Structure 1
């Protein structure tokens, strides 16, 4: 067992700068994580087993489609149709759910979807008989009396099923199973021997071309085995169709356990087999679970906090969700299916995918630079591999595909932020990749370059305002990169483009508004109305979107008006008759914390010397929009962004501009947080007299010296030391 644990830790521990000393049992950080948070309400998370950034996300599926079940599991449901091996965390995209495995027996044979041709057995379950922790999930399948347990390594899922006595105990693998946007295009299963099967599930959904090859080994030989094609039992050892299924039958004693190991690969069955052999070469479920727990404990120890039990639960649950994506795409051999649908080999790095960049560039990726800079190096190399494969950086990449969902070219700020923070990279190639994305030849980009804005098309469906503002931000990032590399002409070009926000600013209304090709503002205009000029938002949500040029934007608007509109943002509530879209959740006035575009807004009071107003709203968001309950997210968790906001804000600072290495102060809710840094350094945040009433910063010291600034630089954090806040119940502005 010792050898197994060492091997798994060596395989999965990534370059986060966490202490090698494990926490004491009383302070076991994984015990504070509630993996059910986000499985109710709009969070769209899953509760199952995964290791940090793992290829396998092994989790229960209720078996029912719908928005609430985007991640496969919805807390109010009472059915489980099986355990699939891939899931998305916190998104609005109904994809993945690959390789559904399910145990059942003669006690319960009802069909979950009786109106469909393909028989789907299921079980009822109760949360009273369900438990989960990082890297582990367990549930009693009440309809059959079978207990299911799940754990994982990076590329292999491991199941342990404890059966009652029955001569008709079964385990099925259903490759035709699909939910929401997902649909199989080709599936294949081969019975290799009396305890091993292999095959592939090819599918299309949000990601157009998905390949999941697998090898599954069973700890007990099949008493009998059958393959199904289009729901017809076939007397062969291999089947191929859009809809295939495998069923193994066992004669089980009371309490007998059957284990299954399922290894994945985007490349080939042999790739999956190698992943299996190198990651789990034994049948000791508990050692795999222990290793997963150890990896999570090490990962979470990158930040140690002092707080009450409730705060620790919320903090570490959010911190846990930060590490569920991106997901490793490459095999143990380094091979992976690229975005050009060809097989490539990652040399000297792990290839990652599942980059929800419209969300995560804002806070999740800056947080990675603090807690796991070694992984950021791999992320950047993964971006550059995507560039090699497609000629552009990823926008929203998934399962070796470019989905082109959402807007902007937000791999750029991630790369530029990493560059200025000293993350190793091929800077010249990285710049060329950034420039290529900023100079792409879509019709919208041609108009953007010609007009200085994206015009609203005739149908009004192109998110023109949002795209203009986000392109301008990314252009600013490219300009800074060019300047650092002495590329004068590029610096001038992209600096000019970075000011394009001015082209849609309407000084009469003080909002960013859509224009037509001739430069005319579109009418009528009502700022709170949701139109197709704004991405999942309205004009209020994008009001302060010039993150890179906030001082100039403030001066253009006027300081007093800037402050007045900040005030209105948090006090102008939607009317009862207003039709809010599904993404507008977590509303405080027109501020929607349940979506990303305005996440930085409460920190903008620092730009008008009214930080105390922002401190009030930041603490309100911390207290009202997060909890340790299943509905603990006010909106989609979005691959770590919603969680990263909380982690930053609870420590008292946040990256308003995610690529300039500056973190603006808010209102720390934690009494103490220690970030473990490279070379044994530690950065500590402490908050004196801190409680729910004392939400205002009275004074700040850095390493014992008075600190008059309203922000802290990344370099100051990386040098180590202590940032000390003194908190009070009233504004500390004049103290």
Structure 2
């Protein structure tokens, strides 16, 4: 520290030196000043190097349509406690919106960035005094969030709330303004719901204990599910007061009083389970003792290890956006099995995993595109358990899941997106699950009729006629192609050539919907007549049917076959030159849609809508044209314009990691355009350097040479790679991956 002026001249209250010492005194002071000025400006210990968690801001995506949340979580955890500002509505699918003025309580689980609310179980809300309404205002500058930790001061309730968690248990610490009796509202009616007029609680069983309460509920909202809970405080319950039931209540709300005597701190641990109370109690014991700081530190250390697998070199803002994207991508899928391996499946029966973990919260229609491929690259130790989780779900229902959460199946979205996930995992060499079992399950899922996959109709016509299905006929046809192509790839890898050929032929149904006049995918009826009138710019979905597309329009969905056959789509659109012209028109000539943000029509460039997943691969398709540099520029523009280091930094639902996975791949310089192919398409990395260090695998160093926006070459350890077919197996063998650019 540079001495202050009064340090040089002595304090005016100090004894004055004798005259004969004045010369020596000034000489000493002059020497001390010279030495001090030569020292670093900040004395004391050197600042610690930045850790990966220092680059994470959990508030990114919490303002607007990102629908993320700032509460703590472990990687891929069963529980994610956090603040709830409301209990219903599309804006509050995670329970939280950055600008909401009050907090109604803290529930124990939620999903990150989804388009439909779910979970929000066992809400607790502390207060210094007993009040009629426990909701409280809070100051934004009182909020703190970092991986594994969240805190806020409830201004009206006189309490500082801190949250942390383990894999299956949440940990609350309440620091009250005053000593004495304090209160906690326990609201078991609460849950995150989409429709306020629907009763979410089907049954309820709660029992009080000396130090808290336990129970089990049957709930229905997005899916039907069971949640068991075991809540224990570090002080005995002094009094229980039942709250008067409201007209819509089917579960109790009660006040718990605690006498803290001379203290001001009350702590709680909440274990959850899909199985039963015994499972919730066992999970709660995952945290031994009451050392809140240690649990938070353990969570921070776990996140540091995981986030440290990928590091980039670049400006601080870019590092925050990138590392936060990693953090968001690693929140889901979520562990669903208890400490003893038990979990409840979509048929309501309790199962036990023979080994490993079982997962739920698979936002498959979104995540099969980039998030699931990202896990094969960065968290390979979990991938076999992901596959076994999907197959175990199929054992319970007879088919692979579409959108499971908390062990239940929501049946949300179209297609069979688990098919490309399994094919991708197998193609990349994972063998911790039974391949023949997987293929048999995939064949059944892609053959037997279900609510949305009406394969008998698809096989009869080769596509879904719009007069034979209830909307989304074109999108369903194109998504069917993704699924059956994945089955063909899986069968080929397993040596079942007959099945591979049969499904390869079935995957060509999309060609029947390419209108030769517009070269777009257009609806046809069962007689083969084209949809008339035809507006290729009108986005549709079940929310505004009749329509042939899923949260998109004809222009946005017509690029879907490129997810498994980009060359074939290019030919169907008139060849390479016409393919590029169609892309140019899509991005640069057509005006953006407006007023349909609920259909993902946001974060737009022309008709490209980055706010929804059907568009996510389209900029990368320029790699298959004579102008790949146009795609490189667009990828950089999308990353720059639609990802920010701020609460509104994600435009469009995060969708359990997919939005973040897109940014991560763009930063690294490649993207899984064909998710089930075990290959990537090259771009130009957003970061000058990136370092991937995954335990058990050789290191991969990524280097961007030059400052141009045209890709000259992609070379791995001196061997050139094909930009449209970078093999996953080569990347995981490590080495030096160099992208050379030119102007």
Q: What is the distance in 1 between the residues matched to 2:594 and 2:414? A: 30
**Equivalent residue, structure 1, for 2:269:** 261
SS of equivalent residue, structure 1 residue 138: strand
**Equivalent residue, structure 1, for 2:515:** 506
**Equivalent residue, structure 1, for 2:5:** none
**Equivalent residue, structure 2, for 1:675:** 692
Shift in Å at residue 714 of structure 1?
Answer: 0.5
**Equivalent residue, structure 2, for 1:662:** 679
Q: What is the distance in 1 between the residues matched to 2:99 and 2:227? A: 30
SS of equivalent residue, structure 2 residue 644: coil
- Within the candidate set 407, 431, 440, 1:400 is matched to 407
Q: What is the distance in 2 between the residues matched to 1:276 and 1:85? A: 12
Q: What is the distance in 1 between the residues matched to 2:273 and 2:222? A: 19
SS of equivalent residue, structure 1 residue 567: helix
Q: Is the 8 A contact 2:128 2:183 kept in 1?
A: yes
**Equivalent residue, structure 1, for 2:630:** 613
**Equivalent residue, structure 2, for 1:19:** none
The answer to which of 578-587 and 312-321 deviates more is: 578-587
The answer to which of 710-719 and 493-502 deviates more is: 710-719
Q: Is the 8 A contact 1:665 1:710 kept in 2?
A: yes
Shift in Å at residue 588 of structure 1?
Answer: 0.4
Root-mean-square deviation (Å): 1.9
- Within the candidate set 366, 371, 374, 1:367 is matched to 374
**Equivalent residue, structure 2, for 1:199:** 215
Q: What is the distance in 2 between the residues matched to 1:218 and 1:677? A: 39
Q: Is the 8 A contact 1:164 1:254 kept in 2?
A: no
**Equivalent residue, structure 1, for 2:171:** 158
**Equivalent residue, structure 2, for 1:653:** 670
SS of equivalent residue, structure 1 residue 216: strand
CA 1:678–1:218 in 2, change beyond 3 Å: closer, same or farther?
closer
The answer to which of 719-728 and 44-53 deviates more is: 719-728
Q: What is the distance in 2 between the residues matched to 1:577 and 1:395? A: 29
Is 1:542 the equivalent of 2:550?
Answer: no
Q: What is the distance in 2 between the residues matched to 1:32 and 1:264? A: 30
Q: Is the 8 A contact 2:513 2:523 kept in 1?
A: yes
Q: Is the 8 A contact 1:70 1:94 kept in 2?
A: yes
Q: What is the distance in 1 between the residues matched to 2:244 and 2:205? A: 9
**Equivalent residue, structure 2, for 1:318:** 325
SS of equivalent residue, structure 1 residue 137: strand
**Equivalent residue, structure 2, for 1:219:** 234
Is 1:76 the equivalent of 2:99?
Answer: yes
Shift in Å at residue 178 of structure 1?
Answer: 3.2
- Within the candidate set 75, 84, 98, 2:121 is matched to 98
Is 1:66 the equivalent of 2:79?
Answer: no
The answer to which of 301-310 and 32-41 deviates more is: 301-310
- Within the candidate set 425, 428, 440, 2:436 is matched to 428
Shift in Å at residue 253 of structure 1?
Answer: 6.0
Task: Tell me the TM-score normalised to structure 1 length.
Answer: 0.90
Q: What is the distance in 2 between the residues matched to 1:628 and 1:457? A: 46
Is 1:329 the equivalent of 2:336?
Answer: yes
CA 1:612–1:371 in 2, change beyond 3 Å: closer, same or farther?
same
Q: Is the 8 A contact 2:180 2:262 kept in 1?
A: no
Structure 2: gaps spanning 5 or more residues: 1-46, 541-546
Q: What is the distance in 2 between the residues matched to 1:101 and 1:267? A: 22
- Within the candidate set 288, 299, 312, 1:292 is matched to 299
Q: What is the distance in 2 between the residues matched to 1:328 and 1:103? A: 28
- Within the candidate set 478, 484, 507, 1:469 is matched to 478
Q: Is the 8 A contact 1:165 1:252 kept in 2?
A: no
CA 1:329–1:575 in 2, change beyond 3 Å: closer, same or farther?
closer
Q: What is the distance in 1 between the residues matched to 2:428 and 2:594? A: 47
CA 1:254–1:163 in 2, change beyond 3 Å: closer, same or farther?
farther
- Within the candidate set 688, 703, 728, 2:705 is matched to 688
**Equivalent residue, structure 2, for 1:526:** 535
SS of equivalent residue, structure 1 residue 640: helix
Q: What is the distance in 2 between the residues matched to 1:25 and 1:197? A: 43
- Within the candidate set 417, 424, 428, 2:424 is matched to 417
Q: Is the 8 A contact 1:91 1:639 kept in 2?
A: yes
Q: Is the 8 A contact 2:345 2:407 kept in 1?
A: yes
Q: What is the distance in 2 between the residues matched to 1:580 and 1:162? A: 41
C-alpha distance after superposition, 1:12-54 (max 9, x if no partner): xxxxxxxxxxxx9413001111101111111011110110111
Shift in Å at residue 187 of structure 1?
Answer: 2.3
Q: What is the distance in 2 between the residues matched to 1:576 and 1:314? A: 27
- Within the candidate set 446, 461, 469, 1:438 is matched to 446
**Equivalent residue, structure 2, for 1:6:** none
Q: Is the 8 A contact 1:229 1:243 kept in 2?
A: no
The answer to which of 406-415 and 694-703 deviates more is: 694-703
Q: What is the distance in 2 between the residues matched to 1:605 and 1:228? A: 61
Q: Is the 8 A contact 1:686 1:724 kept in 2?
A: yes
**Equivalent residue, structure 1, for 2:492:** 483
C-alpha distance after superposition, 1:392-444 (max 9, x if no partner): 00111111111110011111111111111111120000000100100122473
SS of equivalent residue, structure 1 residue 38: coil
- Within the candidate set 602, 612, 626, 1:595 is matched to 612
Q: What is the distance in 2 between the residues matched to 1:260 and 1:512? A: 55
**Equivalent residue, structure 2, for 1:451:** 461
Shift in Å at residue 351 of structure 1?
Answer: 1.1
Q: Is the 8 A contact 1:176 1:187 kept in 2?
A: no
Q: What is the distance in 1 between the residues matched to 2:171 and 2:397? A: 35
Q: What is the distance in 1 between the residues matched to 2:478 and 2:723? A: 28
Specify the structure having the higher radius of gyration (Cα).
2
Q: What is the distance in 1 between the residues matched to 2:92 and 2:280? A: 28
**Equivalent residue, structure 2, for 1:170:** 183
Q: Is the 8 A contact 1:98 1:201 kept in 2?
A: no
**Equivalent residue, structure 2, for 1:35:** 58
Shift in Å at residue 493 of structure 1?
Answer: 1.3
Shift in Å at residue 361 of structure 1?
Answer: 0.3
Shift in Å at residue 477 of structure 1?
Answer: 1.0
For CA contacts below 8 A with separation 6 or more, give which structure has more relative contact order. 1
CA 1:214–1:720 in 2, change beyond 3 Å: closer, same or farther?
same
CA 1:446–1:707 in 2, change beyond 3 Å: closer, same or farther?
closer
Shift in Å at residue 711 of structure 1?
Answer: 4.1
C-alpha distance after superposition, 1:577-625 (max 9, x if no partner): 7756541111100000010012111111111131111011010001001
The answer to which of 706-715 and 379-388 deviates more is: 706-715
C-alpha distance after superposition, 1:245-265 (max 9, x if no partner): 232112346861110000011
Q: What is the distance in 2 between the residues matched to 1:260 and 1:185? A: 27
Shift in Å at residue 72 of structure 1?
Answer: 0.4
- Within the candidate set 259, 268, 273, 2:281 is matched to 273
Q: What is the distance in 2 between the residues matched to 1:638 and 1:427? A: 29
Shift in Å at residue 227 of structure 1?
Answer: 3.9
**Equivalent residue, structure 2, for 1:4:** none
Shift in Å at residue 573 of structure 1?
Answer: 4.0
SS of equivalent residue, structure 2 residue 740: strand
**Equivalent residue, structure 2, for 1:126:** 139
Q: What is the distance in 1 between the residues matched to 2:68 and 2:485? A: 33
SS of equivalent residue, structure 2 residue 49: helix
Q: What is the distance in 2 between the residues matched to 1:105 and 1:186? A: 32
